[in-house]
Structure 1
Amino acid sequence: MGEETEVPVNGHTFEETWRVRISTPGGDMLGAGILVGADSVLTCAHVIPWDGGPQPTAEVVAELVGVAGTPAVRARVAERCWVPELADSRGDVALLRLAEPQDARHAAPLHRVAPSPGRAVRMCGFPRTKGLADGVWFRATIAGPSGPRGEWVQLFPATPEETVRPGFSGAAVTDAETHRVLGMVVSRYDDRSSAAPDGKLHLSYMIPIETVVRYLPLIGDHVTGRRGNSLPPVPSGAPRDREFARWLARWFRAAEGTRHIEAIVIKKGEAARAATLSRAVALADREVVADPPLPGAAHTPRLPSPRSPGPPGGGTNGHVVTRALDDTVPPVGSVDLALDVSGETVALFAERVADRLGLRTGGGDGGVGRFGDIRAVPLTIVAEGVDYAADPVALVEFTDLLAARGARLLLVFRNPDSQSLELALRMADPSKDEITARLDRVRDRIEHIARRERTAYDRVALIAPVRPVPQEAAGLRLDLTGLRRDPELGSRRFLPKLAAFESAVESGLLRVEEAIGRAEAGVARRNELRGRLEAFFALLAARSLEEEQAAAPLYRAAHNLLFQAPCELAEAERAVELFATAVRQHTHRPRGGDRP
């Protein structure tokens, strides 16, 4: 299927030393794996031959193909590290123990991160296709949670030919930018009856590392990145508020009518509400196991089956079990970050958000300043104890910035009379006057974009090739007019539209500023060349008139190029260098009257 687009491993410039090929002792290829530590390999359970017993007992062969010259090693499923595919398609992970330890420096950099839509990833599998048995790279982007109860993450293949296939199960899904391992390939979907342009719907799926840790806690010591959920566990037998649990489940599902920002109060001593919140977050988290066990969780495994299922939750193969879930249970993966912010600064909170986005802050402000440049924050965040933060009002204002970039926030307060709660409530459900004020601020921002566009036109015209300037202001003005006439203006349903438009305006400004930045870089280089030209002309001025006249045409040619608009930088740079070379030749020999 489209093998001409595939990239064999030996043609790739970056080698992932943790890549493992798994086969039978007889040489039949089974799938892929990931080296964890020195003596373990993570893979999908369905990759390993199994007769239905407590766990597989047969040996397989693991080859560390990312390290040249490394011999193959025998391996078996480690004790209590076998989670076969459950009746509802969850699970399907296994950890193999190698007969001979490997160099731990080759182990995979497993990392917790929110599976944000649009993140570029890649993976290497071992299809049985002739010529590709040594591995082939596929590219994809993260689409979002999918699969059984949201345990999987759907991937959009970069091309239809790069849909995963047999031989990819168990392969590492690696962040294209950081080279960290974010998950493991688990399945594919290839629907020939789709209305897609080529008649097929091509999808791939991965299990995020956090979900793997949920099933195999043993690998937790090898995973970097802080846990998404740091709220306290639910005490055994703690009372629960069922109505509150049902409301929380709806909010985590982003059900119709729920808001991007919600501010609630759980007073000290309200044990049932506090336990209900912690339980809901644990159920929504990928890694933490809630108490009691997940409703509807079937722990009866099934025998292996071919791995080309239909859409998760239904099925072209007729083997996926669907069941009604408790309406107090949110989908797995529906919370990205949950923490107690009591005593925390805005900078530390921003650092936690940046960590979940996979960003590297590196700044003394904890990364707060970076969020002015970030176009999207596709996270669902629970912040508890907001009114006990180091600066509650500033923290609430920062959450408003996150919401404007797409974040959904559940802000939990303890004091119903706190000033920060009042501010959060206004943000969550502002008055008509406040909405009008926000629209006026957006209008002012659009006018600022229009002014910056004029600056961009002026600066871009100075350097060739003249690049097009983003034309944002005109369209945004029209959109703003439509927004002011929206029939839902003043209702709760209007707020997501306003937040999305505010985010679009900020993104438009960022694109214009990027255009100005590129133009300014060209202008700075032009000015640098002008200074270099005049410096060499000053050197020539001390020579004889004859020598000055000889180099004059070169000077004029460079000068004309540097002072015309638009300036062809590459051509001007060559002209300046020609003049500089001529000046060096004149200044490194005796003056005309002193020659013998």
Structure 2
Amino acid sequence: MGEETEVPVNTEVRGETWRVRISTTGGDVLGAGILLAADAVLTCAHVIPTGPGDPPDLSVPTAEISVPTTEVQVELVGVPGARPVPARVADGCWVPELADSRGDVALLTLAEPQDARHAAPLHRVAPTRGRSVWMCGFPSTRELQDGVWFRATLAGPSGPRGEWVQMFPLTPEETVRPGFSGAAVTDAETHRVLGMVVSRYDDRSSAAPASRRLHLSYMIPIETVVRHLPAIDRYVSGGRGNGLPSVPRGAARDREFARWLARWFAAAEGTRQVEAVVIKKGEAVRAATLSRAVALADRELPADTPPPRRAPLPVGIHPPASLHAPPPGTPPPAAAPRNGTARRPPSPYGPDEEPDDLLPPVGSVDLALDVSGETVADVAARVADRLGLSPAGEDGSAVGLLGAAAVPLTIVAEGVDYAAAPLALVEFTDLLAARGARLLLVFRNPESQSLELALRMADPGKDETAARLDRLRDRIDHIARRERAAHDSTALIAPVRPVPQRAAALRLDLTALRRHPEPGGARFLADLGAFESTVESELLRIEEVIGLAEAQIARRNELRGRLEAFFALLAARSLEEERAAAPLYRTAHNLLHRAPCELAEAERAVERFAEAVRHHTHRPRGGDAS
């Protein structure tokens, strides 16, 4: 049963040249893998056979185990004509399954390098619920040994300490099985690799028919793999979820604040979707408490640990295990000696030091960043990247890229009142909240106007309808301010983009809504909801205009710097050479300092001057000519 609904590999997704089948030297299929580079393949540790001998007692913290030296065969099944090549576990890159099922990742080194163009596009993405994914494995069934595609949707954090992400198979028959371990989990929309298949669960205890039993699959997100194998960091694109500074293990903490943060990150009962807190400059303990809590909640970096260097980090060892149900969690492994053995280390989570009520769930923060000096467009770009949205292109805007997308992320924004436009950023975070985001907004000045706005937006004490109307008033006032800012920005670059002028009309519409003949009735609520959508769309539209203008202004400033750098090179030449190139410099300078600036024309003028400088600076000086 079930094989009739499976999708043969040659009839569906094509182009995944990174797909790897791992077999014994005798040809028996062991599992799957992901080509990361010409000579590197990622897979699950339990896929690699170990030598003879009983598994050690993991209750002994100093148990040392040898890294497996078994040779396996690796074949790029997505590359026509590829032949199997030998591979072994890379030095210091085997993290076997621990007693609590964490870990279970390994990096193989190929004896014969492959074409690096076939490597996988690994990408850091928040594993949000409902995302459609594909995976291809190699079951033992003879007809399917060349690969079979399964489909699933991501559900949410699961497994040991939340390291895994549960996947709902599209049909019960598409639950992963032996032969899928180590397979790439690929986003159906962007075709980026988001994780790796690790386990499955079948409910065999129920008396219900097999078609009605629980069937689940699990993956390890790429960020968790990086946490265990820092060596693969060089192959992963996308910004890290945690951009706050690390703090030393012994740093003092505000325990009450840590307890509150743990509850908020866990979305405990009684916590609010949007919270605004103040950490004043100089409040080092409170700031360290926030940074540590975010690090504990991050998938990639353990608390107290700086960003990994791009070099292999040997880790704790444990014999392999087959696919099975996920048990509860314990500490991850750490560094091992260079002699090919490893020692189980203390946990970076610090459970012996931290009571459970101070520990936020792993993966409970999707994005944490210091927004000091950042624009709305900058923050929107980071949000879009964490959602795995495709780039908008040269003329696109990150704000526009979000479009009508849901934003099921938990976001920490530190230094909101020190952003490039604090009020605009608070308005934008309110828009993100309307799309489903949970937000912790951190301010440094208790008297800031942006904090006042954030508190007013998050005020649960108001009547809901009155609060919605007041929020609309604030949004429209903000749109008016942003329209003025957009006018100033767009006037600097030609062709000058038209700026929407909708604030005045929106104010009239809001006044009409407040005078609605049926306040509080069904028709009023429908009109209120429609107007909220209209205002939200106008806010997005004006932020997109500003984002595009800011990108063009940044390009103009970059060209100004390039022009002056080449002028400095010319200054070391003779006066005659400087005079010869001076007209080109003046032309480029005038174009770049004119408002509006014709950006394309100015860019050509800068390049003409740069070419002239290159011509002069590559000639010998007058007195050096032979």
Fold-level similarity (TM above 0.5):
yes
Per the alignment, residue 33 of structure 1 pairs with 33
Paired residue type of 2:322: P
Match of 2:433 among 375, 395, 403: 403
User: Greater relative contact order: 1 or 2 (C-alpha under 8 angstroms, separation 6 or more)?
Assistant: 2
* 1:161/1:484 CA distance change after superposition, 3 Å: same
Match of 2:118 among 102, 106, 109: 106
Q: Report the secondary structure of 1:432's partner residue.
A: coil
> Residue 173 in 1 paired to residue 185 in 2?
yes
> Residue 209 in 1 paired to residue 209 in 2?
no
Aligned-partner Cα distance in 1 for 2:153–2:209: 18
Q: Say if 1:93 and 1:212, in contact at 8 Å, map to a contact too.
A: yes
* 1:301/1:81 CA distance change after superposition, 3 Å: closer
Aligned-partner Cα distance in 2 for 1:23–1:504: 60
* 1:155/1:67 CA distance change after superposition, 3 Å: same
Give a deviation string over 1:389-409, Cα, whole Å, max 9, x none. Answer: 011011001000000111000
> Residue 220 in 1 paired to residue 251 in 2?
no
Match of 1:74 among 76, 86, 89: 86
Per the alignment, residue 252 of structure 1 pairs with 265
Per the alignment, residue 480 of structure 2 pairs with none
Aligned-partner Cα distance in 2 for 1:243–1:370: 39
Per the alignment, residue 306 of structure 1 pairs with 322
Aligned-partner Cα distance in 1 for 2:71–2:90: 11
* 1:306/1:256 CA distance change after superposition, 3 Å: same
Alignment of 1:63-212 (within 5 A): 63-193=75-205, 198-212=211-225
Give a deviation string over 1:339-377, Cα, whole Å, max 9, x none. Answer: 000011111111111111111233757322344x32411
Per the alignment, residue 384 of structure 2 pairs with 354
Give a deviation string over 1:543-593, Cα, whole Å, max 9, x none. Answer: xxxxxxxxxxxxxxxxxxxxxxxxxxxxxxxxxxxxxxxxxxxxxxxxxxx
Per the TM alignment, residue 431 of structure 1 is displaced from its structure 2 partner at its CA by 4.0
Alignment of 1:430-469 (within 5 A): 430-433=460-463, 435-438=465-468
Per the TM alignment, residue 302 of structure 1 is displaced from its structure 2 partner at its CA by 4.8
Per the TM alignment, residue 208 of structure 1 is displaced from its structure 2 partner at its CA by 0.5
Aligned-partner Cα distance in 2 for 1:196–1:389: 57
Per the alignment, residue 286 of structure 2 pairs with 273
Give a deviation string over 1:171-198, Cα, whole Å, max 9, x none. Answer: 0000111111110000011113457993
Per the TM alignment, residue 308 of structure 1 is displaced from its structure 2 partner at its CA by 2.5
Aligned-partner Cα distance in 2 for 1:300–1:105: 32
Aligned-partner Cα distance in 2 for 1:163–1:503: 42
Paired residue type of 1:309: A
Per the alignment, residue 593 of structure 2 pairs with none
Q: Say if 1:249 and 1:280, in contact at 8 Å, map to a contact too.
A: yes
Query: Would you say how many aligned residue pairs link Structure 1 and Structure 2?
Result: 449
Aligned-partner Cα distance in 1 for 2:329–2:227: 21
Per the alignment, residue 458 of structure 2 pairs with 428
> Residue 11 in 1 paired to residue 11 in 2?
yes
- Which is further off, 181-190 or 143-152? 143-152
Match of 1:368 among 379, 389, 399: 399
Q: Say if 1:125 and 1:136, in contact at 8 Å, map to a contact too.
A: yes
Per the alignment, residue 230 of structure 1 pairs with 243
> Residue 332 in 1 paired to residue 348 in 2?
no
Aligned-partner Cα distance in 1 for 2:126–2:209: 29
Whose radius of gyration is greater, 1 or 2?
1
Per the alignment, residue 44 of structure 1 pairs with 44
CA-based RMSD? 3.3
Aligned-partner Cα distance in 2 for 1:196–1:239: 55
Q: Report the secondary structure of 1:353's partner residue.
A: helix
Q: Report the secondary structure of 1:91's partner residue.
A: coil
Per the TM alignment, residue 12 of structure 1 is displaced from its structure 2 partner at its CA by 2.8
Q: Report the secondary structure of 1:87's partner residue.
A: coil
Give a deviation string over 1:231-270, Cα, whole Å, max 9, x none. Answer: 1111353211111111111111001011110100111111
Give the structure-2-normalised TM-score. Answer: 0.67
Q: Say if 2:104 and 2:320, in contact at 8 Å, map to a contact too.
A: no
Q: Say if 1:77 and 1:96, in contact at 8 Å, map to a contact too.
A: yes
Q: Say if 2:227 and 2:302, in contact at 8 Å, map to a contact too.
A: yes
Q: Say if 1:50 and 1:304, in contact at 8 Å, map to a contact too.
A: yes
Paired residue type of 1:222: Y
